[in-house]
Amino acid sequence: MKRAVSSIRSRHVARLAAAATAASPAAAEAWDGRFRLHKPRGQHLLTNPRVLDAIARRAALRPGDAVLEVGPGTGNLTVRLLESPAARVSAVEIDPRMVDAVTARVDALGLAHKLTVIRADAVEAEFPEFDVCVANIPYGISSPLIAKLLFGPYRFRAATLLLQKEFARRLVAAPGDSEYNRLAANVRMVADARLLMDVSKRDFVPMPKVDSSLVEIRPRAAAPDVDLAEWLAFTRSCFGQKNKTLGAIFKQKRKVLELFRRSHGAKERDNANAGGGGSLIALGGGDDDGDMSDGDSNGSYDGAASFSEEEVAVFKAKIAGALESSELAGKRPSKLSNDELLRLLKLLNEQGVRFQ
C-alpha cells in the first residue's frame, strides 16, 4: 500500500515538473486549478507578475543572503527570490500539495540547489538562520508570526511582508492616529515599520475580500532598556481599554486587584526563579480594545483574599502616585509615545507594581 501511494505521489510530482517546464514564465504564475485552494486557510496565490517583481525588488536582497520565505504557495515569489543574488532560500510551507508544486517547479528551472523546503506550521516551526524574511502570509497568522520574528531569538536585517491592508495600517500607525494600538506600540519598541505599497485583491487567486499592503519591518540594532515580557504585559493592560484615560483604567477595582495579585505573585516567582531565565510572553493582536484579561467576572482574584483591605488600599495609592508623578493620568494610551509609556511603567515598577 505504501509503495502504491509513493508511486502515485511520484507521478504527480513528475506531472507538476513537466507542466512547469512547458509553461512560459507568465503562464506559470497563473493558477491552473490543479488542486483546490482553501480560502478559510488563507490560501490566496499572488499571480500578478509586476507585483511579484516589485516585492522581490523591494526585499533588496544582497549577494550571500539567506532568505526565509513563509508560505511559498506554488512558487511564484520563490522563483524570483532564487533568481536574486541571495545565496539560498528556506521556504516554510504546511500544505504538502504546495510543497510538491513549488519543489517540482524549482527542479524544472534548475534552481533546486538553492532551495530548502520545510514542511511545517510557520508559527510552530524553528526557523533556520536568515538575513531577510519575505512572506505572503495567511492573514490569520500575521500577528503571531510578527511576534515570533521580533520577540523570538532571531537576528535578521529586514522582513518584507504582504499583509491585509487594514492590519498593515494598524501595524505602522503612530501615536495619535485613529488606528494606533497595542500591536503598533509593541512593534515600535523593537523595530521600525513602514508601508511600501498597496496590492489589489484582484491580483490574487482566489480573490480575497480585502486588499493587501506590503510592509517592511527592520529590527533595531540596540535592544530596548526594558524587560520585554513586562512591557508586553503592561501594554496589554493599557490598550485593553485604549479609549479610556490611564487614570480611569488603573483606578478600577478589578484592575487594582489584578495587579495586586500579579505583583505579589511576581515576588514569589522572582524568589523561586532567582538566577534563572524566563520566557517571553507572546505579542497580542492588532487591537485589544475592550479586552480585560485574567480574573473572574465578579472581580475576585486568587491571592488577594489573603491580604487585608488596608494592604490593597496602600497598593492602589502607589498606582495613583505613579500616575500623578508621570502626569499621564488624564491621557489616553493611544495618544502617547513609547517613551511616555515607558516612563510610566518604570514609575509603577519602582512602586512594586508588576504586570506579569
**Angle at the Cα of 232 (from 213 to 218), degrees rounded to 5?**
40
Q: What is the rounded CA–CA span in Å between residue 272 and residue 96?
A: 45
Residue 142 sits at φ, ψ, to 5 deg, of -60, -50
C-alpha cell at 256: 487594582
Dihedral, 289, 295, 300, 305 alpha carbons, nearest 10:
-130
**Angle at the Cα of 231 (from 296 to 303), degrees rounded to 5?**
30
Q: What is the rounded CA–CA span in Å between residue 351 and residue 345?
A: 10
SS3 state of residue 117: strand
Distances (CA, A) of 110 to 17, 21, 83, 152: 11, 10, 11, 34
Q: What single letter denotes the amino acid at residue 68?
A: L
Residues forming the annotated binding site for S-adenosyl-L-methionine? Answer: 44, 46, 71, 93, 121, 136
Q: What is the rounded CA–CA span in Å between residue 249 and residue 242?
A: 9
Cis peptide before 72 (omega within 30 of 0): no
Q: What is the rounded CA–CA span in Å between residue 151 and residue 174?
A: 20
Residues forming the annotated binding site? Answer: 44, 46, 71, 93, 121, 136
